[in-house]
Amino acid sequence: MSTSTSTTRVALVTGGSGGIGRAVVERLAADGFAVAVHYAGNHATAEALVAEIEAAGGQAIAVGGDVADEEAMAAVLDATEAAFGGIDVVVNTAGIMVIGPVATFDLADLDRMHRTNVRGAFVVAQQAARRVRPGGAIIGFSTSQTRLQHPGYAPYAASKAAVEAITLVLARELRGKDITVNAVAPGPTATPLFLDGKDEQTISTLAGLAPLERLGTPDDVAETVAFLAGPARWVNGQIIYLNGGIA
């Protein structure tokens, strides 16, 4: 790990060791950010990503903790500040998805999902609101399912609707701080987790929903996150739907 210079911007990415989070980490590192790669359970994967970034000349550390645990997340931000001197951008990609119909949904799964997706989003936003430096950005993750209303997604979409509410209100609460607060809401995105268990027909059907006739990629999402993290200083208090025009 290298010590950050005063001109280097610093980002913390929760859930940064895999999937969309990994693509966000790689993009921000390529854009010159020093990046704290947060993981919940897979320390080795996070450390491997840090090693890749450092081998390419970038700066990174791995930081672990439960996003719903305020003490753990305070420690994560402490470690990021200690390593790099401050925090400019917090991207909260961490989340879990359990799907099923309302009538038969297991309430234990609901509680588990909402602990990570709602309480976790609130904890990360709270810590970010206290720590991010002027000129910085806070970026949450929702889902296009809040608009698509596909059967089976009510519990998950409800948890992400909470993220949208937190985002829109926090943007107004940070008036005068020169910190933007936005969320991205991806549609079907070709991550290993998304593709797992789906047959070719299902994947083809989902890809055909968008007028662009393909699934999104993690890099598609990372591109928009990088825009919000960097040049997009006049985009604030917005939910940006990344789905190729599905909704």
Beta bridge partners, 141, equal 184
Residues 44-71 pLDDT 10s: 999 999 999 999 999 999 999 999 999 9
Half-sphere exposure of 185 (CA within 13 A, CB side): 25
Higher pLDDT, 194 or 149: 149
Cα angle at 98 between 96 and 100, to 5 degrees? 160
pLDDT, mean over the chain: 95
Of 194, 115, 127, nearest to 162 by C-alpha is: 115
What's the chain's Rg over C-alpha atoms?
17
Cα angle at 11 between 138 and 22, to 5 degrees? 100
How many structural domains is the chain composed of?
1
How confident is the model at residue 2, as a pLDDT? 44
In this model, does residue 193 exceed pLDDT 90? no
Task: Output the pTM of the full model.
Answer: 0.95
Residue 198 forms part of a structural domain? no
Dist. CA 71–CA 170, nearest whole Å: 21
Cβ burial of 107 (10 Å; 0-12, 13-18, 19+) is exposed
In this model, does residue 227 exceed pLDDT 50? yes
Dist. CA 185–CA 118, nearest whole Å: 15
CATH at residue 127? 3.40.50.720
Half-sphere exposure of 213 (CA within 13 A, CB side): 0
Percent of the chain with pLDDT over 90: 89
Cβ 52 vs Cβ 31: under 8 Å: no
Give the domain extent around 182: 10-188+221-242
Percent of the chain with pLDDT over 70: 98
In this model, does residue 215 exceed pLDDT 60? yes
Of 179, 181, 167, 225, nearest to 16 by C-alpha is: 225
The residue assigned the tokens 């296009």 is: 144
Active-site residue (options: 39, 153, 156, 241): 156
The residue assigned the tokens 């950010």 is: 33
Cβ 20 vs Cβ 225: under 8 Å: no
Residue 3 forms part of a structural domain? no
With cut-offs at 50, 70 and 90, classify the pLDDT of residue 94: very high
In this model, does residue 1 exceed pLDDT 90? no
Residue 87 forms part of a structural domain? yes
Higher pLDDT, 133 or 247: 133
Tallying the residues shown for the chain, one arrives at 247
List C-alpha distances in Å: 51 to 4, 39, 226. 16, 15, 21
How confident is the model at residue 6, as a pLDDT? 55
In this model, does residue 21 exceed pLDDT 60? yes
Q: How far is CA 193 from the centre of its chain?
A: 15
How confident is the model at residue 219, as a pLDDT? 96
Residue 181: strand, helix, or coil:
strand
For this structure, is 241 an active site residue? no
Residue 194 forms part of a structural domain? no
60 secondary structure, DSSP code = E
How confident is the model at residue 4, as a pLDDT? 47
How confident is the model at residue 194, as a pLDDT? 80
DSSP alpha helix (H) spans, 101-198: 107-114, 120-131, 145-148, 154-173, 192-195
